[in-house]
Structures are given as C-alpha cells and as structure tokens.
Structure 1
Amino acid sequence: MPRSARVNQEMRERSRERILAAALEVFAARGYEAASISEITARADVSRGLVAYYFATKEQLAAELLDRWLDGITGILTIEGTPDERLAGIIDGALMAAATTLPIQRLAITLMMQPSTHDVFARVEADKNVRLAQVEDAIRSIFAARGAADPAVEEMLLRATLEGVTVKLAIYRQTFPLEAVRRRLYVTYDLPQPVAPLPVPSPPVDRLRAR
C-alpha cells in the first residue's frame, strides 16, 4: 500500500533532522573546518545523496544550525512581566541555553571568531536582521523602562556579558560557577535574588581550569 503524502513528509523531516543532529555532533567533535560531509553522512547513517538533497554544502549545514541558534535568541520576545522580571528572564534564559546547548553555542562562537568562517555567520545574521533588531529593541525597552541613561549601550553590554559567560562555560564547563555568576548579575542589575537555583550543575567558586 503506497505511503500517504503526510507519512512521506514526516519521513523526510526525520531524515533532515537526523542529518542536522549528526552535523552538529561532527562539528562539535572535529570543528567546522576539519569536519567532512562523509563523516556527517556516516554519523547520520544515511546516503551521501540524501545529505546532498537537503544540503548541497557543509556551509549550508552550518548555516541551518546557526539559523536555529539565532531563532532561539529571539525567544526572549515572548518573556512577559515587569521590566525587572523580563530582565531576570533574559539572564536566566541565556545562562540555561549556554549550559544546555553547548555544542551549538561552540559552533556559533567558532564561526563568529574564525576569519575563514566569519562570513558564514555574517550571512546568516543578515538574513535574521529584522528579528534580531526586534530582540535588541526589546532589551533596550526594558532598560529604558528601568530608567537607563543609554538603553542601547546597556543592551550591548548585557549581551556582551552573557556571550562572554557562554564562551567561558564552553571552555571551563566543569569548573565554571554558573549559579554564583547568575546571582552576581542579579546584584549588578539590582534585581531581587532568585528563589531557586538554575536546574543545571554549578560547581562552587574556585578557579577556572579545563578538565
């Protein structure tokens, strides 16, 4: 009995997702430059032709993963509440994303910073310009509501701080005191201290060392 169009579509989507998951694993293990389509094909356990059907180049795979990463950032637009509650939600959301999605965070950091791949990141970022501007404006509106003299600078500083935390966590995952840093950020922005810790591992404050 022939498969229905819906079943065929679901199968295609599952194959595509499997390829993307495999690409992220290979990029995380080997780095973008060293990773090959052959390795991704083997990890996904699909034919090379199927990979080529969805993604003609390795750059397209990376671009799709980055696209999803940027979509995750725009999730802050759904945070509701007072300006303080929204700011706390942004801080917690960014820290949770850093702690629970390290492979894609590492990929984004790598593509941003390496001269040979920066253009890949820039192209994906440009495609998301409207949504990213909405995120920036949302953060700026929060700081404006809190009485900041220059909401644009505050937005840039917050994002730079959270991105710096992500970089350090990616390098020093086992020794980075995420909860202590979170609570220090709350103090910095004069927010009420959180009632409960984030539901992710967080070692005590000591020294950042790779293990």
Structure 2
Amino acid sequence: MREQSREKILVAALEVFAAKGYHDATVSEITAKAGVSRGLLNYYFPGKQNLVDELLDRYLDGVAAILDVSGSPDERLAAIIDGVLGAATMAGAQRMALSLVVNPATHPLFAAAEARKEDKLLALEDGLRELFTERGAKDPALEEVLLRSVLEGVIFKSAVYADQYPIEHIRRRLYQMYGLPTPKSPLVDASPAPVGRMRALRPGGA
C-alpha cells in the first residue's frame, strides 16, 4: 500500500509538471490528482523539489538503460534507436525533463540529477563509443555525440508536436543513415501518413 501511494504521487506529479512546468505546478494540484492528502505526500516527499529529483533520477536511469540490449553491433544500434523512439511517444517524462533543462531557473536541478547519475551516464557514453568502435567508426566519440544529439532532437520534437511528428519515417531514415537493414515491423504506426508540416497547436486547437 505504501509503495502504491508513493507511485500514485509520482505519476500525478509527472502529469502536473509536464502540463504546467515546475514553477507553476502546485502541491495542491498534485495531491488532488493523486487522490492523497498533503500529509501523505509530505511523508514521502517533503517538498516539490524532492518530487522533481525522484522523477529526474528515474528519467536518467531510463536513458542509461538504453544499452541493455544484446546482439551484433547493428542489432544493438537498431534496438537503441527503437528504444529511444518508442520512449519518445510517451511525452510526459520527456516534456518535464526538457522544461527543466531549457529553463535557466531550473537547469541546476537537471545538472544536479546528472551529477547523481554520473557513473551511469559515463557507462552510457563509453558503451555507445565501444559500439561505434565495433562498427568501424573513425571517431567513435563524435559518433556517440551525434547519435545522442539526433535522438534527443527527436525527443524534443516529438514532445512539442506529439501526433504530428513522423516517428516511423524518422526511424526508417535513421536505419538508412546507419546502414541498418530495413525494419521488419513498424514501431508505432503500420501505415504512417506522409510527412507534413508540423505546427504547434494554437489555443482552441486551431
């Protein structure tokens, strides 16, 4: 029961932070969405920052876990691409993390989370560089930076444009870019629409 209550609070906090941002979100909104008392929330998380710290730690744990795949170098790279693109469709965590990164007032919270996860992030970087070494890259460090930049750009765009973002087309283009075999099955959409022009939704959905 305790663990369930804690998880309910974290799920609610993620939704509220993703929708309103860190500064505009209130503890009252989080408790209302979670259906718990303020006293229970304070028992697990004494302040709003404690909630963000926990959510960011989980987010970075998920980022570091993309290396938990097996197979040949090409199979592993394909699985990493698919894992990140699949996670990009779950925009709540991505949007929350991005909002904290780009806002100067909350960037230190993300920097602190990165510091807490330094060992895992180093292992991620080294693992990707080893993967590109196995694939014969001339500059594995540059390839690691490029791949993460591309995938993080996909995460950003998919968080902003949601269903408008052509995940399946991007996936197939990435496979081509890295010389990977064409995927045998779709990741999110068996019949993706042609790539259109992405625009942020305006007030009223216009």
Regarding TM over 0.5, the answer is yes
1:4 aligns with none
Looking at structure 2, the residues matched to 30 and 110 of structure 1 have their Cα atoms a distance apart, in angstroms, of 10
> Is the CA contact (8 Å cut-off) linking 1:178 and 1:203 kept in structure 2?
no
Q: Aligned pair 1:135/2:124, yes or no?
A: yes
> TM-score w.r.t. structure 1 length?
0.91
Q: AA paired with 2:163?
A: Q
SS in 2 for 1:166: helix
Looking at structure 1, the residues matched to 180 and 94 of structure 2 have their Cα atoms a distance apart, in angstroms, of 27
Runs of 5+ consecutive residues of structure 1 not aligned to the other structure: 1-10
Tell me how large the CA RMSD over aligned residues is.
Answer: 1.2
CA 1:98–1:45 in structure 2 vs 1: closer, same or farther (change >3 Å)? same
Looking at structure 2, the residues matched to 203 and 171 of structure 1 have their Cα atoms a distance apart, in angstroms, of 18
> Is the CA contact (8 Å cut-off) linking 1:175 and 1:203 kept in structure 2?
no
Looking at structure 1, the residues matched to 193 and 131 of structure 2 have their Cα atoms a distance apart, in angstroms, of 31
> Is the CA contact (8 Å cut-off) linking 1:26 and 1:39 kept in structure 2?
yes
Matched residues, percent identical?
56
> TM-score w.r.t. structure 2 length?
0.93
Cα displacement (A) at 1:203: 3.6
1:26 aligns with 16
1:39 aligns with 29
Q: Aligned pair 1:181/2:201, yes or no?
A: no
Runs of 5+ consecutive residues of structure 2 not aligned to the other structure: 202-206
> Is the CA contact (8 Å cut-off) linking 2:91 and 2:162 kept in structure 1?
no
Match for residue 159 of structure 1 among 148, 156, 161: 148
Q: Aligned pair 1:122/2:108, yes or no?
A: no
Looking at structure 1, the residues matched to 25 and 194 of structure 2 have their Cα atoms a distance apart, in angstroms, of 35
Q: Aligned pair 1:171/2:160, yes or no?
A: yes
